C-alpha cells in the first residue's frame, strides 16, 4: 500500500486545520521513490514469484466464478505439471484472521480451495514444494486500509460504533398544518346582558380554570356578577372593554394549546399504508422544533387535491408550537427488528461497493456490504460485516479521502 508518503501529509494537513496549527512541511519525494515498484506479471496477469529458475504465477481468477486463486508453475521456462507441485497459501487479514488455502490440480493449473472474499487486503504467504525443494514467499496485498493514530482520529472527529441489532422504522414523509382541537376553545359571552364593569385579562395572557375574566352589571337586576375561565389556556380573542355593553356578542376566547392537532395530507399512493395508531415525528417548517404524536383520525373523503386528511394529536405542553404552523411529518408504516444494522451516516462508496470502514486498533479497512432494508438512520446488513465489529459512523469521508490519496490498489 502506497501510504508512507501520502498518509502523514494528509493527516497532518487535516489535523492542522482542525487544531488551527500552522501547516507542517514535508520533504517531497520524486514520483519513482514515492511509489512502490509494481509487481512483475505473468501471461495470466498473475504475480510472478521467482526463485532461481523456479517460477510461480499466482493470480486471482473471477471470470464466471467467485474470486479464487489459480497458479501456474514453470521450471527453466517450461511448464510444470500441476500434480508435481505441493502448494499452500495463507492470507493474514487485519486482526490476524487467517485463511488457509490448499490447491488441487486442474487442467494446466492449480486451483485454490476457497473463495477469496472481499476485501482483497491481506499479507500473502506462499509455501511451495517441488522436486524435493521448498520455496517460500511473502508480500503485502493491501487495499482500502489506512492507519490513523487515535489522537489524530479524535481531532478529526472520527466516531465509531459497534455493529449489532437494531429496530428499523419504515416511514413516509407527509405535510400539513397545526390546528386547535375542537374541544380546546371556549367562547365567553355574557350570561345576562349588561355593562362591562372591568376586564381583568389581556390578549395572549395565560389563565387557569376559575381565574376571573370579567365583571358585568346586569341590565335587569343591576347586580354585578363575575365571569371566570372555564378551562386552562390563553386569551386568544378579546372584544370587550370596560364601560361597553356586552350584548350577546363574543367577548373573549380562551384556547388551550397544550394539545394541538396536526392535519396531515396523505396522497393515494401512501393512503393504504397509513393506519390509526401510527407514530408521528413532526417538525415545524422554518425551525428545528420537533414533536411526537399518534394518528387517531382519518377522514373518509378526499380533498380537491386527492389527498386524505389524517389527524394526529400532538403534545405541546412546552408551548413551542402554535396553531397555523406548517409542518413536515414522518409517519411510521412498519417497525421491525433486525439482527445486524449500521448507521447510514457511516456508508461510503469504494470501487463498485457500498462499504463501511471497520476499525481494529488504529487501523481502518473497508468492509463490502450486502444491504437489506433501509429505514430512517439505519440500514440492515445481510453480509460483509460480523456482529460486534467496530465501524466508523461519523466523518468516514476523511478515511476515504486518505485511502484514495494513498493509492491502495486492487491487485489481481
What percent of the chain shows pLDDT beyond 90?
A: 78
- Return mean pLDDT, the chain: 89
Q: Which is nearest to 47 in space by CA: 35, 37, 60?
A: 60
When comparing pLDDT for 17 and 78, which is higher?
78
Q: Which domains does the chain have, with CATH numbers?
A: 38-141 (2.60.40), 172-180+258-334 (2.40.30.170), 183-255 (2.40.50.100)
Look at residue 36 and tell me whether its pLDDT is greater than 60: no
How far apart are alpha carbons 29 and 404 in whole angstroms?
18
pLDDT computed for residue 101 by the predictor = 98
Q: How many residues does the chain have?
A: 412
Look at residue 21 and tell me whether its pLDDT is greater than 50: no
- Mean of pLDDT values over 258-276: 92
- Mean of pLDDT values over 173-194: 94
Which of these ranges, 213-217, 295-299, 341-345, 363-367, has the smallest mean pLDDT?
295-299
Beta bridge partners of 73: 56
How far apart are alpha carbons 57 and 50 in whole angstroms?
9
pLDDT computed for residue 410 by the predictor = 53
Q: 329-368, pLDDT tens digit by residue?
A: 999 998 899 999 999 999 999 999 999 999 999 999 999 9
Contact of 186 with 207, CB cutoff 8 Å? no
Q: Which is nearest to 100 in space by CA: 83, 124, 118?
A: 124
- Mean of pLDDT values over 185-203: 96
Q: How confident is the model at residue 406 (pLDDT cuts 50, 70, 90)?
A: confident
- The pTM (predicted TM-score) of the whole model is 0.67
Give residue for cell 515498484: 37
Cell readout for 289 is 422544533
- Mean of pLDDT values over 257-284: 92
Look at residue 285 and tell me whether its pLDDT is greater than 50: yes
How far apart are alpha carbons 345 and 379 in whole angstroms?
10
Q: 137-159, pLDDT tens digit by residue?
A: 999 999 999 999 999 999 999 99
Q: How confident is the model at residue 405 (pLDDT cuts 50, 70, 90)?
A: confident
How far apart are alpha carbons 303 and 267 in whole angstroms?
10
3-state secondary structure the chain: CCCCCHHHHHHHHHHHHHHCCCCCCCCCCCHHHHCCCCCCECCCCCEEEEECCEEEEEEEECCCCCCEEEEEEEECCEECCHHHEEEEEEEEECCCEEEEEEEEEECCEEEECCCCCCCCCEEEEEEEEECCEEEEEEEEECCCEEECCHHHHHHCCCEEEECEEEEEEEEEEEEEEEECCHHHEEEECCCCCEEEEEECCCCCCEECCCCEEEEEEECCCCCEEEEECCCCEEEEEECCCCCCECCCCCCEEEECCCEEEEEEEECHHHHCCCCCCCEEEEEECCCCCEEEEEEEEECCCCCCCCCEEEEEEEECCCCCCCCCCEEEEEEEEEEEEEEEEEEHHHCEEECCEEEEEEEECCEEEEEECEEEEEECCEEEEEECCCCCCEEEEECHHHHHHHHHHHCCCCCC
pLDDT computed for residue 389 by the predictor = 97
Look at residue 9 and tell me whether its pLDDT is greater than 80: no
pLDDT computed for residue 319 by the predictor = 85
- Measured CA angle at 141 (ends 140, 146), to 5 deg: 90
Amino acid at each position: 500500500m502506497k501510504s508512507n508518503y501520502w498518509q502523514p501529509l494528509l493527516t497532518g494537513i487535516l489535523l492542522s486545520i482542525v487544531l488551527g496549527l500552522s501547516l507542517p512541511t514535508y520533504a517531497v519525494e520524486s514520483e519513482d521513490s514515492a511509489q512502490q515498484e509494481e509487481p512483475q506479471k505473468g501471461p495470466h496477469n498473475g504475480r510472478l514469484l521467482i526463485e532461481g529458475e523456479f517460477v510461480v504465477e499466482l493470480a486471482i481468477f473471477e471470470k464466471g466464478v467467485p474470486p479464487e486463486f489459480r497458479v501456474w508453475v514453470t521450471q527453466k521456462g517450461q511448464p510444470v505439471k500441476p500434480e508435481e507441485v505441493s502448494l499452500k497459501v495463507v492470507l493474514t487479514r487485519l486482526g490476524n484472521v487467517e485463511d488457509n488455502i490448499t490447491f488441487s490440480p486442474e487442467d494446466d493449473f492449480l486451483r485454490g480451495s476457497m473463495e477469496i472474499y472481499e476485501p482483497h487486503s491481506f499479507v500473502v504467504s506462499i509455501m511451495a514444494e517441488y522436486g524435493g525443494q521448498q520455496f517460500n514467499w511473502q508480500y503485502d496485498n493491501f487495499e482500502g486500509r489506512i492507519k490513523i493514530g487515535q489522537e489524530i482520529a479524535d481531532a478529526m472527529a472520527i466516531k465509531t460504533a459497534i455493529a449489532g441489532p437494531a429496530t428499523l422504522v419504515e416511514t413516509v414523509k407527509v405535510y400539513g398544518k397545526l390546528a386547535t382541537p375542537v374541544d380546546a376553545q371556549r367562547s365567553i359571552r355574557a350570561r345576562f346582558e349588561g355593562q362591562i364593569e372591568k376586564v381583568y385579562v389581556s390578549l395572549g395572557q395565560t389563565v387557569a380554570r376559575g381565574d376571573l375574566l370579567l365583571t358585568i352589571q346586569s341590565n335587569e337586576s343591576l347586580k354585578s356578577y363575575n365571569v371566570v375561565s372555564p378551562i386552562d389556556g390563553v386569551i386568544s380573542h378579546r372584544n370587550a372593554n370596560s364601560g361597553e355593553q356586552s350584548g350577546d356578542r363574543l367577548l373573549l376566547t380562551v384556547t388551550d394549546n397544550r394539545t394541538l392537532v396536526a392535519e396531515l395530507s396523505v396522497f393515494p399512493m401512501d393512503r393504504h399504508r397509513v393506519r390509526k395508531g401510527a407514530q408521528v415525528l413532526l417538525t415545524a417548517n422554518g425551525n428545528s422544533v420537533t414533536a411526537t404524536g399518534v394518528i387517531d383520525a382519518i377522514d373518509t373523503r378526499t380533498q380537491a387535491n386527492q389527498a386524505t386528511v389524517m389527524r394526529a394529536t400532538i403534545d405541546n405542553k412546552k408551548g413551542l408550537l402554535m396553531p397555523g404552523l406548517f409542518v413536515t411529518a414522518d409517519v411510521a408504516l412498519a417497525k421491525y427488528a433486525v439482527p445486524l444494522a449500521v448507521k447510514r451516516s457511516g456508508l461510503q462508496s469504494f470501487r463498485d461497493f457500498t462499504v463501511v470502514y471497520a476499525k481494529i486498533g488504529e487501523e481502518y479497512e473497508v468492509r463490502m456490504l450486502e444491504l437489506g432494508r433501509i429505514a430512517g438512520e439505519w440500514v440492515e446488513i445481510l453480509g460483509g460485516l460480523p456482529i460486534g465489529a467496530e465501524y466508523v459512523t461519523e466523518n468516514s469521508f476523511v478515511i476515504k479521502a486518505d485511502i484514495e490519496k494513498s493509492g491502495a490498489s486492487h491487485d489481481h
